[in-house]
Structure 1
Amino acid sequence: MVNRPATDDLRVALVEQARAEGFAAIGIASAAPDRPRAEQLDLWLGDDRHGTMDWMATRVAERASPQTLWPEANSVIALGMSYAPANDPLALAGESDKGRISVYAQGRDYHDTVKKALKRLARWLVAQAPGEQVKVFVDTAPVMEKPLGQAAGLGWQGKHTNLVSRADGSWLFLGAIYTTIDFAPDAAHQPRCGSCSACLDACPTAAFPAPFQLDARRCISYLTIENAGPIPHEFRKAIGNRIYGCDDCLAVCPWNRFAQSAAANAAFLPRAELAAPRLAELLALDDAAFRRLFSGSPIKRIGRNRFVRNCLIAAGNSADPTLVEPVSRLARDADPVVAEAAQWALRELTAVP
């Protein structure tokens, strides 16, 4: 292993190559342990704010420090690929017969697109620095992409805890390349939220106990994606017609006015059938039809039962009498969580005003 300091020329070439691979943001952080970052993670886990996401706790040491995951790493190359939407993510809020799918999940699975670009960039980097090593990560390993993104200067973790970029707003898919190359780190980005509380005020379920803190157990993204059991009754009305994730806290961020639409990346363009899907059609999905519809989509990961459960909550909030029939059929579904959600939705739809 060479472990020699990187030259300025290599750094400049790296930035240019990253742009050529479609990354809108790139920065470099040290792979060394960072005590404040580790302590913040410990506090979050200690308060059980991760809910049932046990994988957040099982490899906490590796998550807290890149060098615990890979001792030979010297630098973390943090990268962001924009998926800024062309249309208003909140446009379907009043269309109760349709389901709202988070912007990031309306196109092809970002894991595939970002990871392929990361691998190409990593191969290029190794060719420029023989003897050095790299590892690539995108959302599937114990890597704290958002804190590392802030440490690398890509942006800052806003009051909603997501990364915010001055150039790309709230719409960045994040990835990382760990490397043995000893790059000089960029300066960490300082928070620029000021007195703004738009994201906190927009949250339908009050998932932010305080600025810069998230209780995942109250977050609609967690409830509709990570949570496998029944959705707690206290959150069902607030979910509205959101059937996969929630964009509200991201969409209202004022920094988004600087973000340019990512329409040039065809992978992130919304599929027509997912941009404004009708609940009646989604409620009719069996497992095979679900798999066909969501082939190549991140939604496929949660499975038919969890997705239909979400659609039933939206149906119960719709006040749409035409949904009584499809909901009634699901009240006898083989999956008990689906059946319970259907029974709740049926009561909501048939309740006397």
Structure 2
Amino acid sequence: MDALADKLRAQAKAEGFDACRICAPDAVPHVPPRLEAFLEKGYHGQMDWLAERTHWRSNPAALWPEARSVIMLAVSYTPETDPLVALERKETGTVSVYAQNKDYHDLVKKALKRLARWLIAESGGEVKVFVDTAPVPEKALGEAAGLGWQGKHTNLVSRELGNWFFIGSVFTTLDLPKDEPEQDNCGSCRKCLDICPTAAFPAPYQLDARRCISYLTIEHHGPVDEGLRPMLGNRIYGCDDCLAVCPWNKFAVEAREMRLKPREDLQSPPLAELAMLDDTAFREKFSGSPVKRIGRNRFVRNVLYAVGNSENAGLLATAKSLLNDEDETVRDAAEWACKRLKSAANGQDG
């Protein structure tokens, strides 16, 4: 099986993966108590699906009892430029690096299926592939397999790839040789914790999603708490701050997949243009993009929060034009943006 594992890694690289490691399905016994504590504290916010099927989410071995190995794979999407620079362009929006082109779910899953078909042809067995859409604790499995370790920001960090990479998994009935788990290499560093605009980390290795900008702009429906809106800045879909400051990124490799490289129109797009998108225009602009999943209303809500934070009086007309929008949350965001811009013009706090 050692020879097969070596061939598997070579094939994974040929399919576009940047790392390939193997662990057992039952290699994450620490997940159940951590998940239970996370849910009990309400850190999952409106993500009710995290509280569902916890018997699978807590125990990958229960998801498919016949599986004997989990192949964990990484695909780098390291940006070519520092995403924090875009936060200074307040009249434009900032879209998280991973969402600036095609939906990674589709790209990674297709590559996983190709690799899985190769494995079946090579050695038989049965397989199942997963990429962030099933109750699989992918970060914990990635750590157990040696892809990296879960950093203080709760994301996986690799000595070879930094923390800009997607994770996918192939469960198989083949009993492949297992890799050693990765050790925590964060040390005393707390850059990811200190940069968070909303203080979403109650403690190292803990995330309160209810304060996380990625959660607020993507998963949270309805109005965002007014106390948090100013902290969103011009982030209109996701947040990269804690990832961007990780020192291990000095070893990161740039994305090889061209469809993961940023679209020009999603690098600092003008807020005035984005706010005017109706449902049809929104769907057309974000066709094939992960941004599409939040829908026009939630997206425009985010854009209006960014308008309100822009301190640009020239965007007041944009905010006013949405005061009578059909969506109640959009109307609320437009009203807030108008109030903020008027206050900024008068030299007052919003």
TM class, shorter-chain normalised?
over 0.9
Report deviation, 1:34. 3.4
Q: 1:167 aligned to 160, 173, 185, which one?
A: 160
Residue pair 2:222, 2:329 contacting (<8 A) in 1 also:
yes
Q: Given the two structures, how large is their TM-score scaled by the length of structure 2?
A: 0.97
Cα distance between partner residues in 1 of 2:207 and 2:183? 19
Runs ≥4 residues deviating over 6 A:
none
Residue 221 of structure 1 corresponds to: 214
Residue pair 1:109, 1:298 contacting (<8 A) in 2 also:
yes
Cα distance between partner residues in 2 of 1:34 and 1:223? 29
Q: 2:311 aligned to 316, 319, 324, which one?
A: 319
1:39 equivalent in alignment to 2:39: no
Q: What are the residue-to-residue correspondences of 1:154-303 with 2, within 5 Å?
A: 154-262=147-255, 264-303=256-295
Cα distance between partner residues in 1 of 2:136 and 2:72? 11
Q: Residues 100-127 of structure 1, C-alpha deviation per residue, up to 9 Å, x if partnerless? A: 1100000111011100000000000011
Q: What are the residue-to-residue correspondences of 1:337-348 with 2, within 5 Å?
A: 337-348=329-340
Cα distance between partner residues in 2 of 1:73 and 1:102? 35
| Helix, strand or coil at the partner of 2:72 | strand
| Helix, strand or coil at the partner of 1:330 | coil
1:63 equivalent in alignment to 2:57: yes
Q: Given the two structures, how large is their TM-score scaled by the length of structure 1?
A: 0.96
Report deviation, 1:35. 2.6
Counterpart of 2:134 in structure 1: which amino acid?
A: A
1:26 equivalent in alignment to 2:20: yes
Residue pair 2:89, 2:268 contacting (<8 A) in 1 also:
no
Residue pair 2:28, 2:140 contacting (<8 A) in 1 also:
no
| Helix, strand or coil at the partner of 1:260 | coil
Residue 16 of structure 1 corresponds to: 10
Cα distance between partner residues in 1 of 2:270 and 2:88? 13
1:140 equivalent in alignment to 2:133: yes
Residue 144 of structure 2 corresponds to: 151
Report deviation, 1:33. 6.2
Residue 110 of structure 2 corresponds to: 116
Residue 79 of structure 1 corresponds to: 73
Counterpart of 1:138 in structure 2: which amino acid?
A: V
Report deviation, 1:184. 2.4
Cα distance between partner residues in 2 of 1:110 and 1:182? 29
| Helix, strand or coil at the partner of 2:215 | helix
CA RMSD of aligned residues (A): 0.8
Residue pair 1:202, 1:249 contacting (<8 A) in 2 also:
yes
Residue pair 1:66, 1:73 contacting (<8 A) in 2 also:
no
Question: Among the aligned pairs, what percent are the same residue?
Answer: 57
Cα distance between partner residues in 1 of 2:58 and 2:120? 26
| Helix, strand or coil at the partner of 1:340 | helix
Residue pair 1:33, 1:65 contacting (<8 A) in 2 also:
no
Q: Residues 159-196 of structure 1, C-alpha deviation per residue, up to 9 Å, x if partnerless? A: 00000011110101110011111112211101000000
Cα distance between partner residues in 2 of 1:156 and 1:133? 28
Residue pair 1:317, 1:345 contacting (<8 A) in 2 also:
yes
Report deviation, 1:150. 0.4
Larger mean CA deviation between 269-278 and 30-39 belongs to: 30-39
Cα distance between partner residues in 1 of 2:181 and 2:8? 19
Cα distance between partner residues in 2 of 1:35 and 1:243? 37
Residue pair 1:32, 1:74 contacting (<8 A) in 2 also:
no
